[in-house]
């Protein structure tokens, strides 16, 4: 039996009043949310919550969300000069305007200084800083008082690869460094030569894959994340992209059979980070270098190879990048293509890159969504490394 119309009307009014009270309560809670670097606030939501409005007007079921300036910051790893972190480094980390830093030899004086440096950065980041360095082995060691002393080219067996990776990871982790920008998984071409002498594992694709998997797993056991590089494979390149533009003229079938084989293996083994290289591969994309190619970074890496971790560019200041554009334009192209982190090795690049990415994200909903996706992957990387969430 239906209720009387007046009764229905009274019930509806009562329900609306209850909803209004609830909305007011939610508004108060949202107003108490976190404050971004630009003074704006964002809602504080429980993990897994399926409601909530973001400060830039989007809604998303995968809460919690960072304010957009901080989300952009999570796509950036930057460098600085000297053995002490300038105040701007700590400020950026406090504000969440950077995911972390890369350390070079000039940042490292000795064991005690390095521990003090990384502790200070982590305090500013509330325990959430990604701190990376290159510790491949041989001459490519920014922590020169730590191993491995042998280069990758002299590491020919799985036990040797495990031992070298364990040595590196324990030294790095003990000094507060949580990401090694290694191993190199590029494959030496059958004809020999190439742009990276001494930095490649010996042997063909299958042997490189076995050695790389051993390195990735040994690092993980020691609590340090690896960065396999230089996707999709720089072994055939005749020019190091740090110093000039490089075109890898090989058929797609050959690249997929040989150069991508180690990436299939390390991705299956759970490699947390893949570094994208800056060479041009016309067989995949005749117009965009790898780090800026959606074909390679999204269609192949994500779709074909099934990688779900963090994609990070090689140095955005590389000559192969600067031959095509300024670093800020390159950063936008790299994030749009599917990278999650832009690696900056020049101390002044953050000022150019951060502003450009934030402006692009505010104006372009598609790019904003890409930034959000990248920030979520970086957050998952932090959880995997046992770090705290971004500030």
Listed as own residue / partner, the contacts of 103-106 with beta carbons closer than 8 Å and 24 or more positions apart are 103/131, 103/132, 103/133, 103/142, 103/177, 104/79, 104/133, 104/142, 104/345, 105/142, 105/144, 106/81, 106/82
Give per-residue pLDDT as tens, 266-303: 999 999 999 999 999 999 999 999 999 999 999 999 99
User: What's this model's pTM, rounded to 2 decimal places?
Assistant: 0.84
**Which two tokens mark 390?**
């971004």
Query: Residue 61's pLDDT band (boundaries 50, 70, 90)?
Result: very low
Domain ranges of the chain: 1-32, 70-385
* SS3 label, residue 275: strand
Residue 64 CA to residue 45 CA, distance in Å, equals 5
Instruction: Tell the burial category of 144 from Cβ atoms under 10 Å away from its Cβ (0-12, 13-18, 19+).
Output: exposed
Per CATH, the architecture of 70-385 is what?
Answer: Alpha-Beta Barrel (3.20)
Q: What percent of the chain has pLDDT over 70?
A: 83
Give per-residue pLDDT as tens, 126-151: 999 999 999 999 999 999 999 999 99
């Amino acid at each position: 039996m239906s209720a009387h119309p007046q009764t229905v009307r009274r019930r509806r009014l009562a329900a609306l009043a209850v909803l209004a009270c609830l909305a007011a309560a939610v508004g108060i809670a949202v107003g108490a949310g976190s404050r971004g670097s630009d003074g704006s606030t964002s809602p504080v939501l429980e993990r897994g919550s399926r409601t909530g409005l973001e400060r830039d007007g989007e809604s998303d079921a995968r809460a919690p969300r960072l304010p957009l300036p901080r989300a952009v910051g999570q796509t950036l790893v930057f460098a600085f000069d000297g053995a002490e972190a300038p105040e701007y480094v700590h400020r950026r980390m406090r504000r969440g305007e950077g995911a972390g830093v890369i350390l070079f030899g000039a940042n490292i004086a000795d064991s005690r200084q390095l521990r003090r440096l990384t502790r200070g950065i982590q305090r500013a980041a509330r325990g959430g800083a990604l701190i990376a360095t290159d510790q491949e082995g041989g001459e490519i060691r920014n922590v020169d008082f730590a191993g491995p002393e042998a280069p990758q080219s002299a590491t020919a067996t799985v036990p040797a690869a495990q031992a070298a990776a364990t040595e590196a990871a324990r030294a790095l982790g003990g000094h507060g460094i949580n990401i090694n920008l290694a191993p190199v998984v590029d494959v030496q071409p059958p004809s020999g030569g190439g742009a990276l002498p001494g930095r490649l594992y010996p042997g063909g694709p299958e042997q490189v894959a076995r050695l790389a998997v051993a390195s990735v797993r040994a690092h993980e056991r020691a609590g340090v994340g690896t960065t396999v590089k230089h996707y999709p494979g720089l072994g055939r390149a005749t020019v190091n992209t740090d110093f000039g533009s490089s075109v890898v003229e090989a058929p797609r079938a050959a690249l997929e059979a040989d150069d991508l084989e180690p990436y299939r293996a390390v991705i299956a083994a759970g490699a947390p980070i893949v570094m994208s290289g800056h060479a041009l591969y016309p067989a995949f994309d005749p117009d965009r270098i790898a780090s800026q190619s959606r074909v390679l970074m999204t269609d192949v890496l994500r779709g074909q190879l099934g990688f779900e971790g963090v994609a990070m560019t090689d140095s955005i200041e590389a000559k192969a990048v600067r031959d095509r554009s300024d670093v800020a334009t390159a950063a936008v192209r790299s994030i749009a293509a599917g990278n999650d982190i832009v690696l900056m090795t020049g101390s002044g690049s953050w000022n150019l890159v951060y502003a450009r990415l934030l402006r692009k994200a505010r104006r372009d909903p598609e790019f904003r969504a890409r930034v959000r996706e990248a920030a979520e992957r970086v957050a998952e990387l932090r959880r995997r490394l046992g770090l705290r969430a971004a500030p």
